[in-house]
Amino acid sequence: EKKRRLGRILMERGMSNGQSLWHSQSPKTPTKMLDRALSSRRPHSDADLSDSGESGTDESKTKRPHIYLLASNFLSRIGHQWWPFLILALLFLLLLFLISVAFHSHSFVCISRFDPAARIGFFGFDGLESDFGALGVPWCRSKHGKEVEWTSKDLLKGLEEFVPIYETRPIKNNMYGMGFDHSFGLWFMARWLKPDLMIESGAFKGHSTWVLRQAMPDTPIISLTPRHPEKYLRKGPAYVDGNCTYFAGKDFVDFGSVDWKTVLRKHGITDLNRVVVFFDDHQNELKRLKQALKAGFRHLIFEDNYDTGTGDHYSLRQICDQSYIRGGGHSCFKDSDEARMRSKRKKFWEKAVDTEELCGPGETWWGVRGEMRDDFNHTNTPISYNQHFQNSRYVESILDVYWELPPVAGPSLTHQSRYDPARSTPPIVADGKHRLFQRVGLGRLDKSVFNGYTQMVYLEISKPGS
């Protein structure tokens, strides 16, 4: 009896839990459909989770969904009606970006002459200006770091004044002579320095004489040139000045052979600091510098200050192109960054030289392929790098000021294609300044007059013993 009662009690408890003891112990017995449906919807209790060894929270419900899921859900909700507005918004943002770049583009071009690595190009991003590989613009170092007195504002003001003067020039087509850039530079420096006497070595048809006369109407001029400018009058326009002493034709005397003490005494000049000497004779500039120093002249202007690897004479730019000077020194390694950059820029600029043109036998690159050229390219004397280095040290020892005339305007404005702007100082009127270019009158000039820039340079020589 006791066994039957215990069996009934156990059966009643099992039935109250919705299953029989036999069912719970028999995995082979199929589960009822109702039981499976209830089991799949029944939430887990904390006790169930603790028994299974899991925490009491479900990460799949509490963790924030990924951003791409949110975006996907958002787009699926808004449907196809909003996608045109999204495209318009993206186009608007792109337009704002382009306007911002154009507005701030002046900072890409107008930079310090000592920071060529910051320059951004025009043809692509490295055609107009660039860092030229590891190079820049070599700048002769002066003894005390002295600068010229004039500023970029003075140059811009002078430019506006000079344009109408230049339009009255007697020699309209000065082929093989100075173009606008150097004409302005000579006029500006002569007018700023206000000398008591102006000397020019090399006059050709007389254009430079005319420029000096426009700067200083009453100052006497001494002109040394193998052929008298009046000879050119028989064939076309030329200029002969009435207040100029000519050492020309049969009376020609080379600058280094003139008895300057006697000549200056005849002109009443006692202070050599009041004399400006202008060289446009295509002679070794180191030779001319030593001759001027011997005569006591301190203010010198060289018209053709050719870059390394170019030109028909040894120039100050070439002398100061040294590895120890920032922006100086070159590599003849054909697989170098410089070689690749030179090859690329050669396609854009006539005066650019590639590595094969720059370097001579034994990887000599200074001067022109390791040569110190003189006399209109009639003499080509090979020099060692040690000689070239000593020339640079000599120039630095006597130099108070070295200043290269900038181009008057950027190549995109003047359409010039000769000199490589990566090897010149930033222009007075930067690329992109079209309104300024027109305002100062440069737009009235024929584009051909801007194609003769060769880094004209002004030097101030130290006083003896300083």
**pTM over the 0.85 mark:** no
Q: Which residue has the higher pLDDT, 303 or 67?
A: 303
Q: Please name which of 418, 426, 451 lies closest in space to residue 352, comparing C-alpha atoms.
A: 418
pLDDT for 80 equals 54
Q: Tell me: the pLDDT tens digits for 422-440? A: 889 999 999 999 999 999 9
| 253 falls within a domain | yes
What percent of the chain is modeled with pLDDT above 90?
59
| 207 falls within a domain | yes
Strands 197-201 and 275-279: parallel
| 127 falls within a domain | no
| 292 falls within a domain | yes
**Beta sheet of 299-302, edge-to-edge order:** 244-248, 221-225, 197-201, 275-279, 299-302, 457-461, 399-404
Average pLDDT, the chain: 80
DSSP codes of every residue in 172-211? S--TTS--HHHHHHHHHHHHHH--SEEEEE--TTSHHHHH
| 29 falls within a domain | no
DSSP codes of every residue in 229-272? GGGGGGTS-----TTEEEEEGGG---GGG--HHHHHHHTT---G
Q: What is the mean pLDDT of residues 249-257?
A: 96
Q: Tell me: the pLDDT tens digits for 171-222? A: 998 888 899 999 999 999 999 999 999 999 999 999 999 999 999 999 999 9
| Domain of residue 432, CATH code | 3.40.50
Total domains, the chain: 1
| 344 falls within a domain | no
| 195 falls within a domain | yes
The range of the structural domain enclosing residue 234 comes to 152-310+398-461
| 145 falls within a domain | no
Distance CA 418, CA 253 (A): 33
